[in-house]
Amino acid sequence: MWLDVETGVHWLVTAGLAKGNHLDRDDFYQCVKRADKRRETHRWLPTDEDRRLLKQETAARLLTEWELTVQRQVLQGLREIHAGGTIRLDVHHPVSANRHLATVDLAITEVRESGYQADEVELTVTSDCGYAGSNLIWQLTTRALITVSPPEQGWDRYRDSYSTIADPGYFSARVQELDLLDTHNQLTESEPGQHAHYAHRQHLAGSTINGHAVRALCGSYSVPTQDHASLPECPICRERIDAFPL
């Protein structure tokens, strides 16, 4: 075991088996002794590639832990307002818990009218000036949306606000689903879309690469990640395309 004093990271640099009561030439401790005598122990120290991989693994771990924290915050919010109401959640930066990143406002309205019964939800993400438009804000937005309601194409967007409609009682059931995931320390997964949509071609390439969502002709809002050829055509998009003048 070697301690990198600059980072505080403990590295397992070498390991082996004891043999022959430490008298065998292949005994691990004998090998270490010979390497130390020849001043060759530096070969066991982490390389630049090892450090690069460590940074990637650390970043991935911090991001996953942060997304779990966001999911738990949204879950707690749903517990309080699943039957209707509003709540505000303060989200902090994944690297520093003392650095405010954004505010998530969540509102659920129970609509019980003759001929129309639904639970309507609106989610708004307001980011601090330094993070507006960043990939981190988009990741926060995506995590919050799929925690509340995972279908990718089920949300409509207006600026920084997103809305969708669910069957009565959906969010009460959603709390139970999220409780189970939280017990196992698991992130909820998004549900891919069911239709291939039409959107302006100049928006698709960059959005696919950067993970940004685009609005389709039908008004649905999703990140273009699926193979559109494998999905049936959206009937509303088709109807609106047919209405365009030739």
Please state, in angstroms and as integers, the Cα–Cα distance from residue 184 to each residue in 68, 79, 170, 178, 205, following that order: 11, 18, 22, 10, 37
**209 band by pLDDT with thresholds 50, 70 and 90:** very low
| Rounded-to-integer distance, Cα 1 and Cα 4, Å | 10
Q: What are the phi and psi torsion angles at 180 (to 5°)?
A: -65, -45
**155 band by pLDDT with thresholds 50, 70 and 90:** confident
CB atoms within 10 A of CB 194: 13
pLDDT of amino acid 64: 93
Strand order in the sheet with 161-166: 85-92, 100-113, 116-127, 161-166, 156-158
CA 155, 158, 162, 168 torsion-angle sign: negative
Average of pLDDT values for 225-238?
A: 73
CA 218, 231, 150, 169 torsion-angle sign: positive
Tokens of 94: 């994944």
Residue with tokens 């055509």: 233
Residues 6+ apart with CB under 8 A from 33: none
Residue 67 confidence (pLDDT) above 90: yes
> Which of 38, 152, 137 lies closest to 91, judged by CA?
137
Tell if the pTM clears 0.85, that is, is over it.
no
CA 134, 126, 164, 139 torsion-angle sign: positive
**7 band by pLDDT with thresholds 50, 70 and 90:** confident
- Interval 90-134: pLDDT, tens: 999 998 878 899 999 999 999 999 989 999 999 999 997 788 778
- Interval 69-88: pLDDT, tens: 999 999 999 999 999 999 99
